[in-house]
Amino acid sequence: MKIVMLGAPGAGKGTQAKMIAEQYGIPHVSTGDIFRMNIKNGTELGKEAKTYMDKGELVPDELTVRILLDRVAQEDCKNGYVLDGFPRTIPQAEVLDAELTKLGDAIDYAINVDVPDENIIRRMSGRRACVSCGATYHIVHIPPKKEGICDKCGAELILRDDDKEETVKNRLNIYHAQTQPLIDFYTNKGVLKTVDGTVDSAEVFAAIKVILG
């Protein structure tokens, strides 16, 4: 069972990817984690990726796919995996598709966690983080006992730059320009499944389990 997770930033796809991995006993494969692991272990692929990252450049799609394929070729991925954070663009999806085809393989499901932009903006701009211990809250869903103060350590809670409305809108614009076309790509492959991401995460997961069987 090879799964790609799709969805806008803040849609909750990372949470669902972890739940799928746990439920079905397959690895949750995050490209960020793979890069860090390869660089830390000083692998040839890691050294190659680091030359781009040190210059502040994006790692080329072809190298990213090579690093990804190296990861999914490992023993723990023999029954499948959940890809989180890749592919992000059509060229990445095409390279991944071509390389999997060479291996006689293919993505089984592309799960799109669908949440309207206004919900994501509300969801993310309501987040608050503790400046001291890093605990996170939400002014509507998980409010602190005392406004602006961390329950755990009593330090100040802040709205992180990443969660500010303007930043969230910019990230959503990039998502719609680059990643949204993947929905058409995987629809044409006949593997796209969409779930309503506006409901509680347990309900989202229940819908995903119906799809995966």
Q: Is the pTM for the entire model greater than 0.75?
A: yes
Q: Are 21 and 128 a contacting pair, CB within 8 Å?
A: no
**Whole-number Å distance between alpha carbons of 20 and 106:** 18
**For residues 105-114, average pLDDT:** 96
Give residue 56's pLDDT: 81
Q: Indicate if the pLDDT at residue 9 is higher than 90.
A: no
Question: According to the CATH classification, is domain 2-117+167-212 in 3.40.50.1220?
Answer: no
Per-residue pLDDT reduced to its tens digit, 46-95: 999 889 888 888 888 888 988 998 998 899 999 999 999 899 889 999 99
| Residues tagged active-site | 13, 88, 127, 160, 171
**For residues 141-153, average pLDDT:** 95
**Whole-number Å distance between alpha carbons of 15 and 55:** 31
